[in-house]
Structure 1
Amino acid sequence: MVIAIIGVLVGLLLPAVQAAREAARRMSCSNNFKQLGLSLHNYHAAYKQLPANGTGTDAGINGNGQRKSSDATNGGSLSAFSGLLPFFEAQSLWEQLSNPHMPESGESPTGITAAGTWQAFGPAPYIDLNSYDPWQTAIPSLRCPSDPGQSVIGVGQTNYSFCFGDAILRIGYEPT
């Protein structure tokens, strides 16, 4: 009889515990947003502008005024999160990203320089995705704890994004 009563009490208590855990995860997600907002303010205080999205290295400008890309550059495909790394306690990842990076033993990268390294800020995310360590690094403060999803390709993911504005399809086109 006592075991049945304990079983009923546990059955009643379990949903309450799960609800409390989910509330804690939502609060953690909210704190991630606050940290992201603070990092944006700190970036602005340091540079007098907000971080740009779609920046990075390229191989120059072609005759049409568009970025030329090569395997050794990232073709201007870096997220604004790259510039924010030092402002939300990811300084070590920033150091790894902003300096030339040597491939590890056994890796056969395609996007390397003549010196055998990836250039600072790395290749395009779709080149050497599984070799270039910064693209594989998961940053906990950029993931909502309520999201149980895992990357199927083994790269760092985020639940937050930057807006390009309302005309992404018109970027690079003539105004007409």
Structure 2
Amino acid sequence: MSQSHQNQKGFTLVELLVVIAIIGVLIALLLPAVQQAREAARRMHCSNNLKQLGLALHNYVDTHGKLPASSSGYGGCVGDAVNGEIKNANGLVALLPYVEQQNLYDQFNHKEAYSISSSHQKATGTIVGDPLTNGNAALAGTELQAFNCPSDNNPTKGRLVGGAYGPGGSFSGAATNYDFVVYCSLEYSTCNSYVTQSSTSKRMFGADHNTKLADVVDGLSNTFMMGETTKYHVNGGAFAWSYRSWVMTGVDPYYNGTNGGINIWHQPQVDHPAWQSPPFVPIRGRARSWWCATASLHPGGCHVVMGDGSVQFIPETIDKATLFNLTAMADGNVAKLP
């Protein structure tokens, strides 16, 4: 017995510490690669979501001959609501049957309002029905994988509540990472502005307007159709997939010659005294480029769906002139993707 114990060998403390140190170094070397692999998988998933939405839009056109309006009866703009009716409908709802959500689509009351922006209604008109009793406000909280990018770790629910951003009452809306490309400053400032704006500045989508693919004279493969956004907007809440509320108009990659852009976490031109004191500290993933940010948590840029349904990754370093040419559908300047 004693001879057997004497022949056994074990690790010394120094040897054990060396082994632990080596394991620690290997983990430190492997961890970035593992994280990159995970983000690559999330990015592919996100790209596939947008690909399905691009196909859904083209299937919608095959059925109806035109694209859905970005919103219908938006009450957050200034002026007269179309036909005097405020419904606050997000055009994404029209795509539900084309992303295998026909059952959910059938549960909505499409003849009545989808939300009530009780504290920020600017448009003149009558709210059609009551989303608190017609079921639309409750359905607004449905979280849909088709509208969520797994790279965005912001919560899908929690910010879309209350009189400004919620669907109404105590109900909470579910956010989307994808929305239509619109001329957001006009969509917000002037009701029914799409029909009167210059053709050279029009995007593929507008409120209460159904664009036809033939209207995209710069070419479908050269024009943005949908884009990514984050589920946390610093100047705003986020975008709900089922309804429109205060400063919910759609995404605008360009905005104007000074503002906008891709993955802007802090845009100094977004000037409001209450937001500057104390000095604003940018946080990646919390967009602060007006209220219609085109952004993602993918390193270096974000995805967009082109008019032909293809998905492209747009770098955040893209110059503004090219960004405008890709955003406008009929400005006469055909831009190449970077």
| Category of TM-score, reference length = shorter chain | 0.5 to 0.7
Greater share of helix? 1
- Report deviation, 1:4: 2.2
What is aligned with 2:107? 96
What is aligned with 1:87? 98
The answer as to whether partners of 1:97 and 1:122 remain within 8 angstroms in 2 is no
SS at match of 1:161: strand
Partner Cα separation in structure 1 for residue 176 and residue 153 of structure 2: 12
Of residues 179, 184, 190 in structure 2, which corresponds to 1:161?
179
| Residues 113-132 of structure 1 aligned to structure 2 (within 5 Å) | 123-126=114-117, 128=132, 132=137
Assess, with a 3 A threshold, how the Cα gap between structure 1 residues 12 and 30 changes in structure 2: closer, same or farther.
same
SS at match of 2:140: helix
What is aligned with 2:143? 138
Matched, 1:52 2:56: no
Could you give the per-residue CA deviations for residues 73-112 of structure 1, whole angstroms, max 9, x where no partner exists?
xx2311110110110122221121147xxxxxxxxxxxxx
The answer as to whether partners of 2:88 and 2:114 remain within 8 angstroms in 1 is no
The answer as to whether partners of 1:137 and 1:156 remain within 8 angstroms in 2 is yes
Instruction: Give aligned pairs, total.
Output: 144
What is aligned with 1:7? 24
What is aligned with 1:104? none
Assess, with a 3 A threshold, how the Cα gap between structure 1 residues 136 and 22 changes in structure 2: closer, same or farther.
same
Partner Cα separation in structure 1 for residue 81 and residue 116 of structure 2: 22
Assess, with a 3 A threshold, how the Cα gap between structure 1 residues 125 and 90 changes in structure 2: closer, same or farther.
farther
> Looking at CA atoms only, which structure, 1 or 2, has the larger radius of gyration?
2
Deviates more, 1:1-10 or 1:31-40: 1-10
What is aligned with 1:19? 36
Matched, 1:77 2:121: no
Matched, 1:147 2:177: no
Q: Tell me which amino acid in the other structure corresponds to 2:105.
A: W
SS at match of 1:43: helix
Assess, with a 3 A threshold, how the Cα gap between structure 1 residues 49 and 65 changes in structure 2: closer, same or farther.
same
Identity %: 39
What is aligned with 2:191? 171
- Report deviation, 1:3: 2.5
The answer as to whether partners of 1:125 and 1:135 remain within 8 angstroms in 2 is no
**Structure 2-normalised TM-score?**
0.38
The answer as to whether partners of 2:70 and 2:180 remain within 8 angstroms in 1 is yes
Partner Cα separation in structure 1 for residue 29 and residue 112 of structure 2: 53
Partner Cα separation in structure 1 for residue 114 and residue 20 of structure 2: 61
Partner Cα separation in structure 2 for residue 65 and residue 31 of structure 1: 36
- Report deviation, 1:139: 1.1
Q: Tell me which amino acid in the other structure corresponds to 2:146.
A: S
**Structure 1-normalised TM-score?**
0.68
- Report deviation, 1:48: 1.1
Deviates more, 1:131-140 or 1:29-38: 131-140
Assess, with a 3 A threshold, how the Cα gap between structure 1 residues 122 and 93 changes in structure 2: closer, same or farther.
farther
| Structure 1 alignment gaps of length 5 or more | 57-63, 70-74, 100-119
What is aligned with 1:43? 60
| Structure 2 alignment gaps of length 5 or more | 1-17, 74-79, 118-130, 162-171, 197-338
Assess, with a 3 A threshold, how the Cα gap between structure 1 residues 65 and 134 changes in structure 2: closer, same or farther.
closer
